Structure 1
């Protein structure tokens, strides 16, 4: 009988990916490009149908790559979890959001595991990639999987390997980003590492347990959350002191050691950085520990959309305009530049704050033609025209898309509140306000 390790070495193993979103689809594509037959699973039939027809919906996936591997039969998708029975390895890449009380919602992970339980078989590898609190793999997945009667580390293998997807990053993609792997047992770690080594062109860093790998992922994003919180707080202080925070940061990063530049903005967006610290602070309370520094940075970052709306109101006031009834044009609702992802976007929260103060808000984003939030659909203005800019009492740059002509914007706008320093190269700056 051919073992799982031999199947991976010969690339005859069938690989499953549960969740075909920003993490799962790029991973499935890379596995298929490496020569494996890949099965994609998703509860959304629309995604399954798009994959099976070779139609891409994720920015970091090359359209031609998806079309080629689907046409060659290396990648197919389904909503039927019974197909898990034919898979040798399954990676779980489903969302892990926060609930209404800012507590971890791991229902998608749990339901994915429960859906595959009837089809779990011997000599199978299961890897969780979804970001979660330390202990999830050992405390939740292992007991669920062992409820089948199979023994972890003997009959099947279980590991955690955190996703490190950075949408829009032109250098680091799924294929060339180093991977961390931590298994329940040393053999679990070994087999998971063999899988990723056969797919990626990046080092595989093995750790001693899933909890180490889970905490490592939380550390990555909490590190960024805290440092962004620090610079956001300094931005507020610098504004009161009449100091340009952007020039301060540029000066500080001239030091070749001991400093890494982080930048202020209207808040945090994306699926990871705004959410992951909440996972850690929630888990810490189980041990009677309060993550005071982390929670303080979260408070600063969470307040930034409200602060930006207050600044907008003060800017309008200087131009003898009240917020109530003013027309405001927001440029960019994606959570970062040059992508179409608006998950947890601070720009949307800024819009909500402005509207709550009585402003009439429209937006323009060439990457996000419409967005859905709180059951409401909002559509982008179709074109950034001189008339659209001139009609606005205030233009607010919320996302620093590099495709926009900021000199053109400055030329036609009455006043611009640049929250991202996107207009730093614009020569005439008399009507530009910085965060």
Structure 2
């Protein structure tokens, strides 16, 4: 890495989806000379390599507004060989919830694909949401075993959980603070320099990589808990003939010690249910188990409301 700007000349992103494409565009805008993306989807690769923002599979404003300026520094491939020579690797693959279990296979495959192409001194940063200890167990130790590199000296590994606010023009990859943990002091130092000096974002370093991993799970579990709570309140207040939204609006007049959450049919998406489940599995939280049950049954409650409305009309 160049010491004057603490930026790599070549940065590789593994995963060209929502998170990975934001990372690639951000790095290119900050002056990284070559940004390469590895994705298993030929369609995703072709769309990126077309150079046309009309063809992009991610339709977020930050990407679309900056694509023309960044695209000449970005290329994509389905082959890991494109990562050869990269000084920094950012991992941004999905670990989906399948049949009641988190599928960590994509992260293991990243390690297997990367290993033949890594050089000593490389920094590998995972932005993948994972259970406490998962970055070390599923990525760092496997990479060390496959490459023969010594962790925190020849192979630097860190975790910086992704933080994106879809649709926001106020909070973008350029100003959202990032939590960073490393498997050791050298890994942490290198990752802080990457995000702070090269990518130019506020950083919050932590001395234990598991703190960084758990912080992401806490953020999304907090949201699921509160959404589930207000959804449960809606069921009870409906029976009492009280409008829960008016209750929330009234409580929101308190200028401290309160944050409004509103009811809905389901707290979904790729993150909230999965991350709350991961935190529950890691900690054994009974509160999260109940909250997830409320969330999973909430669509049935709304379906019943709709059916009653149809019958009345």
TM-score if structure 2 supplies the norm length? 0.94
Which residue pairs with 2:124 in the alignment?
Answer: 126
Which residue pairs with 2:188 in the alignment?
Answer: 189
- 5+ residue gaps, structure 2, are none
Q: Deviations over 1:173-197 (max 9, x none)?
A: 1111100100001111110011111
Which residues in structure 2 correspond to 1:179-218 (within 5 Å)? Answer: 179-218=178-217
CA distance in structure 1 between the partners assigned to 2:157 and 2:4 by the alignment: 17
3-state secondary structure, aligned to 2:231: helix
CA distance in structure 2 between the partners assigned to 1:197 and 1:166 by the alignment: 19
Q: 1:113 Cα deviation (Å)? A: 1.4
Q: 1:6 to 1:202 in 2, by over 3 A?
A: closer
Higher relative contact order (CA 8 A, sep 6+): 2
Q: 1:201 Cα deviation (Å)? A: 4.4
The yes-or-no answer on 1:314 pairing with 2:311 is: no
The yes-or-no answer on 1:303 pairing with 2:301 is: no
Contact 1:103 1:282 in 2 (8 A): no
Q: How many residues align?
A: 307
The yes-or-no answer on 1:19 pairing with 2:41 is: no
Q: 1:8 Cα deviation (Å)? A: 5.4
The yes-or-no answer on 1:45 pairing with 2:39 is: no
Contact 1:59 1:168 in 2 (8 A): no
3-state secondary structure, aligned to 1:274: helix
CA distance in structure 2 between the partners assigned to 1:126 and 1:120 by the alignment: 10
Q: Deviations over 1:124-174 (max 9, x none)?
A: 000110111111111121211111110011102000000011211232111
Which residues in structure 2 correspond to 1:32-111 (within 5 Å)? Answer: 32-36=28-32, 37-54=34-51, 55=53, 56-60=56-60, 61-70=62-71, 73-100=72-99, 102-111=100-109
Q: Deviations over 1:174-227 (max 9, x none)?
A: 111100100001111110011111344431000012211000000000011111
CA distance in structure 1 between the partners assigned to 2:215 and 2:303 by the alignment: 35
Q: Write 1 or 2 for the structure with the bigger share of helix.
A: 2
Q: 1:32 to 1:226 in 2, by over 3 A?
A: same
TM-score if structure 1 supplies the norm length? 0.68
CA distance in structure 2 between the partners assigned to 1:302 and 1:122 by the alignment: 46
Q: Deviations over 1:21-68 (max 9, x none)?
A: 111101100000000021111111111111111233222234352233
CA distance in structure 2 between the partners assigned to 1:162 and 1:156 by the alignment: 19
Q: Deviations over 1:109-132 (max 9, x none)?
A: 111111111112101000110111
Which residues in structure 2 correspond to 1:302-381 (within 5 Å)? Answer: 302-319=296-313
Larger Rg: 1
CA distance in structure 2 between the partners assigned to 1:5 and 1:137 by the alignment: 26
Which residue pairs with 2:224 in the alignment?
Answer: 225
- 5+ residue gaps, structure 1, are 285-289, 320-435
CA distance in structure 1 between the partners assigned to 2:299 and 2:223 by the alignment: 18
Cα RMSD of the aligned pairs, angstroms, is: 1.4
